[in-house]
Amino acid sequence: MLILVIGCSNKESNKGFTLVEILVALIIIGITTTLVTLNFSSLSSVTKQVNTIEDNINFLTEESIVTGNIIGWYFNANEQYAAYLLDEDKQKIIKDLNKSSWVDTQSLKKTFKFLDGTKIELGEKEYKTPLLVFYPSGENSGGIIDIYYEEYIQRIVINNNGKINNEVVNY
């Protein structure tokens, strides 16, 4: 009678997985979980970025409608602010903007593209004119913000009617 190494002579009792098979399955599950978690966290940050910008746009649109004033949104690579455009020389700055979207991406390259096709890089330079203008009718001047991450570009399209489209564009 032949006896197997495990001490059983019956092939029907040789059921189950070897230790190597179990370890390989656990390694595959671990790698998959890690990849899914990393991708989810980067998508979560993109969503957070858009929600913050969308909150600012909604706030400025409502503020312009309620006050009946034209509002300009000024921003560069590091900071942003909004101001009522009362006269050519006078501005009254609005303090209630959510600034976390710019703080989180300070080190990243950003560009702004106007609807006429003019594209500028947002750097340290502060522009004298607002990049987005909000009107009491509920409309705005519109534009496209591109934020350059290492693996992709986050494109935030701001339509004239205040709708925002978020796209992730691969290099």
E runs forming strands in 1-137: 71-75, 80-85, 91-94, 109-113, 119-122, 132-134
Query: Which residue, chain included where needed, has tokens 């003019």?
Result: 118
Query: Is residue 164 very low, low, confident or very high in pLDDT (cuts 50, 70, 90)?
Result: confident
Q: Domain ranges for the chain, please list them.
A: 21-170
For 21-170, give the CATH class.
Answer: alpha beta
Q: Which residue has the higher pLDDT, 123 or 67?
A: 67
Instruction: List, in order, residues 6 or more apart from 82 with CB less than 8 Å away.
Output: 56, 60, 63, 71, 72, 73, 74, 93, 94, 97, 130
Output the pTM of the full model. 0.63
- CB-based burial of residue 158 (10 Å sphere; 0-12 exposed, 13-18 middle, 19+ buried)? buried
Q: Which residue has the higher pLDDT, 71 or 88?
A: 71
Beta bridge partners of 166: 156
Report the C-alpha gap between 155 and 157 in whole angstroms: 6
Range with lowest mean pLDDT among 42-46, 125-129, 145-149, 151-155: 42-46
